Structure 1
């Protein structure tokens, strides 16, 4: 009986070993996020998404406005690819960093009321870009004020790292990852107007 058990275990081990290469090389099924065509989004104005300049101008414009003025959040959503992410970086007391990840709807729910309540005007003051194929990476240096008065000192400055996709007919915002200027994290001169 021990010999039979040994042979059975041995045969099972040999079978598993023979099948192992197939198991090890088998590809996991690809997880496909929704394409820009598969998730309903509010229709974008062609003037907002026809070029990189246009979509960035629309992005800054749609979040900006005086206190007490509602933003056009459907316009905001129309700029975003399905599953787009908006991600503020935060400095931690230990010198490290953390990130919060929002969908477009999360951003509206989390930040929207504050932008409308306090007044918020953000504008781009410098830009660098890198492009390849259908993708564009934009480092967009910004200034934030409570009013549209450019003589008002900005209460915040920083850099928006924006990833864009050209789908053949329009541009989409895929992600925005940003960090604010603060002591010890000054904006380098190469990302400021000359």
Structure 2
């Protein structure tokens, strides 16, 4: 059995949490339709370890993707013209850090117009990160979206 301590944050821990949050914010900010999408996708590639794993669940059989299997169809969708005014953003989340590993778990929202129809959605994402010589990088991410019978509480 192990125990959790509630020692105050050290300056290094605060610095790590700030750096992890910056990666999480940059991850979400990649998913915006319109100009500069290719640059945002390139920044997203730089945030992910080349071997990172991304998993979509959403009530379906899990889809396990490599970095390019995850990014390429989203870039095509964000630049293809059928999806407009789209963006994703974090609502609230929790960061845990231990040494050279970190985890963000939280809720997010998305909105846009697809083939002329406005839509919104919410879900939960988990993002695992590791410290590298270049800073914090995403090693894995997974998400599940709201659907019939599975909803986030409304604030």
TM range (shorter): 0.7 to 0.9
Q: Summarize deviations over 1:52-87 as a string: whole Å, max 9, x none.
A: 121111111122233x66332221110001211111
Q: Which runs of 4+ in 1 moved over 6 A?
A: none
| 1:131 Cα deviation after fit | 2.2
Alpha-carbon distance, 1:176 to partner: 0.9
In proportion to residue count, which structure has more strand? 2
Note if contact 2:30-2:37 (Cα within 8 Å) is conserved in structure 1. Answer: no
Matches within 5 A, 1:143-158: 143-146=109-112, 155-158=120-123
Partner of 1:12: none
Q: Which residue of structure 1 aligns with residue 6 of structure 2? A: none
Q: Report the count of equivalent residues.
A: 130
Structure 1 segment 119-138 matched on structure 2, within 5 A = 119=84, 120-138=86-104
Aligned-pair Cα RMSD in Å: 2.3
Q: 2:21: which partner in 1?
A: 53
Which 10-residue stretch deviates more, 174-183 or 83-92? 83-92
**Cα distance change on mapping 1:170 and 1:103 into 2, 3 Å:** same
1:75-124 per-residue CA deviation (whole Å, 9 max, x = no partner) reads: 111000121111110314xxxxx210111111122222112230320001
| TM-score normalised by structure 1 residue count | 0.60
Give the conservation status (yes or no) of the 8 Å contact 2:31–2:87: yes
RCO higher in 1 or 2 (8 Å CA, sep ≥ 6)?
Answer: 2
Structure 1 residues 169, 109: closer, same or farther in 2, change over 3 A?
A: closer
- Distance in 1 of aligned mates of 2:66 and 2:150: 26
**Structure 1, unaligned runs of 5 or more:** 1-49, 93-97, 148-152
Q: Which residue number corresponds to residue 150 of structure 2? A: 185
Unaligned runs of 5+ in 2: 1-17
- CA contact 2:58–2:146 (8 Å) conserved in 1: no
